[in-house]
């Protein structure tokens, strides 16, 4: 068996792109200035999660100033799948509430007003999504909505659009997240990560790429997002689909030609990351390995961290690793979680949801409590150009078709070295596709 030095393993839990899915995890800054253009839109040059400590680095240093609970409260609604087997992500609500507590207790709230987080019970079905959208649309106190993991939100987005209310989605997963006109995302979500996987794989200048991918409708669509750009670059791609519950991935990895390919991509569920790591080790594939945050899951680390030595991880947010990071947004997240968090800091969805609320606070604080109307927010969200709290430096809304509501598909990479996570390129984001 021939093993090439540039064999690369990429694991992404993206099997459910266009269907109910479990997807990647989570994690800006500066002061938001506003100038009105001739068209009436507010042009926001940059936004801080903490206007009182605005920097272009994404700092959100605590000021010690508390919101005044006697003033009217500012309410942000949370849309997120939080019930049902395989489609419940309580970390999203936990992250949002932690951010609100941090803002209220240490950043002075929104212009002195306390931020409240409104929640609604919904699953992966369109009916419950629509009902929650209507609930927020009819609640005059909710002026903006933060989106978590959404798997049937088209009806919810329509209901909110009718009420002229906007949504900032933290993790774009399905088509309504990509195209609904009142919905925006400053991180790439599944399309961004998958494009990042393809681009990072291409950076090894391979002639051939082997891919194993989850065998379902969503996984087949996910594979296309990676396969198409690679083939457009003249790279030969061999693809093998696998079941997420397979207990041995040695056969599929060999069937994909990973022992002969220059780069190996595995687009599999989190549980399959463990089997993939074991197979790569058993096959003595010693070349670099690349994966997404799905394979950073604590369950994977606990089971196969030594086998993942040298792996690279493609993500669309500034990760909570490495432990000695100096990234201000990550440090703010850790500080806030230690004081106000509920449950494990690494629970799925918590970090990107925390970031989303911090972003909204930074964008809306310059508008003030009275000025942060639904109409003003609808102009402010697409006018934002970055830097993004916990994310990339620049965003541009709308994004290129077919993901028009995704304003950036930049990605960041980290690697395990000596059993520890290290940031590639000092944690700077690599540019995503612009067309």
Q: Tell whether 427 is covered by a domain.
A: no
Q: Tell whether 68 is covered by a domain.
A: yes
Q: What tokens appear for 347 in the block? A: 């629970």
> Picking from 88-102, 154-168, 268-282, 380-394, which range would have the lowest pLDDT averaged per residue?
268-282
Q: Output the pLDDT for position 157.
A: 97
Does residue 43 sit in the same domain as residue 156? yes
Does residue 73 sit in the same domain as residue 172? yes
Q: Tell whether 53 is covered by a domain.
A: yes
Does residue 232 sit in the same domain as residue 144? no
Give the pLDDT confidence of 123-152 residue by residue, as tens digits. Answer: 989 999 999 999 999 999 999 999 999 988
Give the pLDDT confidence of 316-360 residue by residue, as tens digits. Answer: 988 887 777 888 999 999 999 999 999 999 888 999 999 999 999
Q: Are strands 208-214 and 166-169 parallel, antiparallel or unpaired?
A: unpaired
Taking each helix axis from N to C end, the angle separating 90-106 and 350-364, rounded to the nearest 10 degrees, works out to 40
Residue 238 contacts by C-beta under 8 Å, 6 or more apart in sequence?
A: 208, 209, 210, 211, 256, 257, 261
Q: Tell whether 44 is covered by a domain.
A: yes
Q: Residue 98 and residue 292: Cα distance in Å, rounded?
A: 25
Distances (CA, A) of 195 to 92, 110, 321, 410: 24, 36, 22, 9
Does residue 85 sit in the same domain as residue 136? yes
Last residue of a domain, one of 250, 281, 315: 315
Q: Is the CB of residue 357 less than 8 Å from the CB of residue 115?
A: yes
Does residue 81 sit in the same domain as residue 113? yes
Does residue 340 sit in the same domain as residue 388? yes
Q: Residue 15 and residue 269: Cα distance in Å, rounded?
A: 7
Last residue of a domain, one of 270, 286, 315: 315
Q: Output the pLDDT for position 86.
A: 65
Domain that residue 206 falls in: 9-21+191-315
Q: Output the pLDDT for position 4.
A: 36
Q: Tell me the average pLDDT across 185-206.
A: 93
Q: Tell whether 415 is covered by a domain.
A: no
Q: Is the CB of residue 397 less than 8 Å from the CB of residue 363?
A: no
Does residue 244 sit in the same domain as residue 337? no
Give the pLDDT confidence of 103-113 residue by residue, as tens digits. Answer: 999 999 999 99
Q: Output the pLDDT for position 14.
A: 34
Q: Residue 84 and residue 124: Cα distance in Å, rounded?
A: 8
Q: Residue 76 and residue 420: Cα distance in Å, rounded?
A: 37
Does residue 342 sit in the same domain as residue 311? no
Does residue 182 sit in the same domain as residue 244? no
Q: Tell whether 326 is covered by a domain.
A: yes
Q: Tell me the average pLDDT across 385-395.
A: 95
Nearest Cα residue to 156 out of 131, 124, 185, 181: 131
Does residue 296 sit in the same domain as residue 388? no
Does residue 66 sit in the same domain as residue 84? yes
- Give me the CATH number covering residue 341: 3.40.50.2300
Does residue 306 sit in the same domain as residue 202? yes
% the chain with pLDDT above 70? 85
Q: Tell whether 27 is covered by a domain.
A: no
* Other C-beta atoms lying within 10 Å of the C-beta of residue 369: 17
């Amino acid at each position: 068996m021939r093993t090439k030095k540039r064999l690369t393993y990429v694991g992404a839990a993206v099997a459910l792109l266009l269907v109910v899915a479990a997807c990647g995890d989570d994690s800006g800054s500066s002061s938001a200035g506003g100038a009105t253009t001739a068209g009436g839109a507010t042009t926001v040059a940059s936004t801080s999660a903490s206007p009182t400590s605005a920097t272009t680095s994404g700092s959100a240093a605590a000021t010690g100033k508390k919101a005044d609970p006697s003033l009217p409260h500012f309410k942000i609604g949370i849309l997120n799948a939080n019930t049902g087997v395989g489609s419940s992500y309580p970390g999203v609500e936990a992250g949002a509430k932690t951010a609100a507590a941090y803002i209220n207790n240490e950043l002075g709230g929104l212009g002195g007003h306390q931020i409240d987080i409104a929640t609604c019970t919904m699953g992966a079905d369109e009916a419950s999504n629509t009902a929650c959208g209507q609930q927020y649309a009819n609640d005059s106190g909710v002026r903006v909505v933060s989106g978590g993991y959404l798997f049937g939100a088209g009806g919810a987005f329509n209901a909110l659009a009718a009420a002229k209310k906007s949504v900032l989605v933290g993790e774009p997963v399905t088509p309504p997240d990509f195209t609904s006109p009142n919905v925006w995302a400053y991180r790439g979500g599944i399309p961004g990560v998958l494009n990042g996987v393809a681009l990072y794989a291409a950076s090894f200048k391979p002639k051939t790429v082997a891919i194993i991918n989850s065998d379902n409708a969503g996984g087949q669509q996910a594979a296309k997002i990676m396969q198409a750009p690679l083939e457009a670059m003249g790279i030969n791609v061999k693809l093998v689909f696998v079941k997420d519950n397979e207990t041995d991935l040695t056969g599929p990895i060999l069937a994909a030609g990973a022992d002969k390919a220059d780069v190996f991509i595995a687009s599999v569920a989190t549980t399959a990351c463990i089997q993939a790591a074991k197979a790569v080790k058993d096959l003595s594939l010693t070349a670099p390995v690349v994966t997404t945050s799905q394979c950073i899951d604590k369950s994977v680390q606990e089971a196969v961290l030594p086998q993942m030595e040298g792996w690279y991880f493609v993500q669309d947010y500034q990760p909570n690793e490495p432990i000695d990071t100096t990234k201000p947004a990550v440090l703010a997240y850790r500080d806030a979680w230690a004081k106000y968090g509920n449950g494990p800091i690494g629970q799925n969805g918590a970090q990107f949801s925390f970031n989303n609320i911090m972003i909204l606070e930074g964008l809306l604080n310059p508008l003030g409590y009275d000025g942060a109307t639904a109409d003003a927010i609808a102009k402010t969200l697409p006018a934002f150009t970055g830097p993004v709290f916990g994310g990339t430096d620049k965003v541009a809304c709308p994004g290129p078709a077919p993901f028009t509501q995704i304003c950036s598909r930049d990605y960041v990479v980290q690697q395990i070295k000596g059993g520890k996570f290290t940031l590639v390129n000092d944690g700077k984001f690599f540019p995503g596709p612009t067309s």
